[in-house]
Amino acid sequence: MTKTETLNCYNQSAPLDQRRAGVLLHLTSLPGPYGNGVIGEDAYRFVDFLKDAGFSVWQTLPLGPTHGDGSPYQSLSVHAGNPQLIDLQWLVDRGWLAEHDINHCFTDVFGRSKCISIAFSAFRRQFEESHDNKLHKSKCLEELDSDEISLDEQTECHDFQNFIQKQAFWLEDYALYCALKKEHQQKSWMEWPEALKNREKNALAEARDQFRNSILFYQFEQYLFFSQWLSLKEYANNHGIHLFGDLPIFVAHDSADVWAQRQFFKLDENGQSDVVAGVPPDYFSETGQRWGNPHYQWDKIESTQFSWWVERIKTQQELFDLIRIDHFRGFESSWEIPADEETAINGQWVKSPGENLLETLYQTYPNLALVAEDLGIITEEVNELREQYNLPGMKIMQFAFSGESSNPYLPHNHQLNSVVYTGTHDNDTTLSWLESLNEDEKHYIQQYFSFPYEPLNQVLMNITMASVAKLAILPMQDLMNFGVGHRMNTPGTTEGNWQWRFSWEQLKEETKMLARHMNTLYGRIV
């Protein structure tokens, strides 16, 4: 197959089929009445804003359930959705939760979980009394009073059963993992009793029986998340908006995935990692980034025809129209750091079977649409792998102005098969970044753009939208001209991240009109 024929095979379907633009905004950053954004009214309103402003892509960060630090890149599961994103009003509309319950729940430290528990109690009765359900009614269930259920109970119960069956390939282990994690005060699976930690058959059978109601609850949580998200996706797609997801290449050690399938990870007989993932020193950090994730046992994964990855992509394909592979270079080789090292300075690159993996994924999902996060230390081998499968790479305007005309992020070096950003979730806002530069650096940027009359942050947005790159993405903070104090994440730090939110009062009509003007001017309206 020639190079031209190869490029015609992959990544040709929407939303990579024509010139477009989108906005980067994680769901938690949406406005709303609670502590973070949810899959509710504000999410639908944001879709309307995107359409009116001429955008056709909404990019989010990973949507999985997080650990205590809130990082979406260290999830409890590569399949599950974050229960913190569930819209409680959706439960009220179905008669499982009363309006007054919401206010009562949020006086409790376990507010959202408590609300969902109340809803589950109402739903559980109708589910277990449904003629179609295949689960035996538990003798230990309390008789719980609930208001009259107004919806078609048979349909909802049938949908729940179908969801459990359809997602069983990951949901069974995930729900059991969550039930056991709750039973053991949220401790890592590494600290559970040996029989459960090592998944001894009898211990798992006893746990499934003992915690059957808790397991059902966690399955119910995921049913809520998927139902709400897929409804939002349908609404977005019907309004011309494609959802752009983010897939971290590595998995958290304390996750249902590692606990359930230890054979696919580089762990010793006790489940500990000898080597952990990260990246060597780069633009973001002089000591590199020590992420701490376990590395893959690629030989064992490959021996199963990459079934673990095929299943992972299956879920992401259901949730998103386009998927960014975070740390794509890990498909070619990964930085392995000895587990006893405190930084990522000392390590080595170890090869990965990326070509065979991508070939398998595209054979399984011919219309798969992927973007490669190719920032950091990128070799010719990584570029060749990306180009072989026609994956767009990323161009970041904040990285462009090093003073060298050959800098690949400068606009005159951009490529059609790219996604261009002013900055990502790991960058400061463009306005704040500009304010941090010294006078010589600012002068270089002004000189590059022939001393523009407009403020430089607006110029960088214009040039991002004008780029030859097929897809242009603006972080919401940049679109709203926010400066210091509106950053989403600072790599290498563990506190103060992932908390940024905007309010509708801050989003002016002029912002929408300016965005539509840019989309029109630079040919990005579909």
- Parallel, antiparallel or unpaired: strands 322-326 and 242-248: parallel
State the Cα–Cα distance between residues 505 and 508, nearest whole angstrom.
Answer: 7
What pLDDT digit, counting tens, does each position of 182-199 carry? 999 999 999 999 999 999
Single pTM value for the model: 0.94
Question: Mind spelling out the 3-state secondary structure of 367-397?
Answer: CCCEEECCCCCCCHHHHHHHHHCCCCEEEEH
| CA torsion angle 234 92 138 197 (round to 10) | 60
Q: Scan for tokens 């259920």, then name that residue.
A: 149
Residue 112 is predicted with a pLDDT of 84
Residue type, 77: S
pLDDT of 6 higher than 60: no
pLDDT of 127 higher than 90: no
Arch. (CATH architecture) of 9-521: Alpha-Beta Barrel (3.20)
Question: Which of 29-38, 170-179, 310-319, 408-417 has the least mean pLDDT?
Answer: 29-38
What pLDDT digit, counting tens, does each position of 291-314 carry? 999 999 999 999 999 999 999 999
What kind and span of H or E run contains 84? none
Residue 494 is predicted with a pLDDT of 85
Question: Which of 67-71, 198-202, 323-327, 512-516 has the least mean pLDDT?
Answer: 67-71
Average confidence score pLDDT of the chain: 92
Percentage helix, strand, coil for the chain under 3-state DSSP, each rounded to 5:
45, 10, 45
Domain boundaries, the chain: 9-521
CB atoms within 10 A of CB 31: 17
Mean pLDDT within 248-262: 98
Q: Which residues of 430-466 are buried (b: 16+ CB within 10 A; e: fewer)?
A: bbbbbeeeeeeeeeebeebeeeeeeebbbbbbbbbbb
CB 288 within 8 A of CB 343: yes
Q: Scan for tokens 């211990």, then name that residue.
A: 203
CB 500 within 8 A of CB 432: no
CB atoms within 10 A of CB 255: 24
State the Cα–Cα distance between residues 355 and 363, nearest whole angstrom.
Answer: 12
pLDDT of 152 higher than 90: no
For 253, residues 6+ apart whose C-beta sits below 8 A from its C-beta are 188, 190, 273, 292, 293, 294
- Report the SS3 class of residue 466: helix
State the catalytic residues: 326, 373, 426
Residue 65 is predicted with a pLDDT of 97
Residue 492 is predicted with a pLDDT of 78
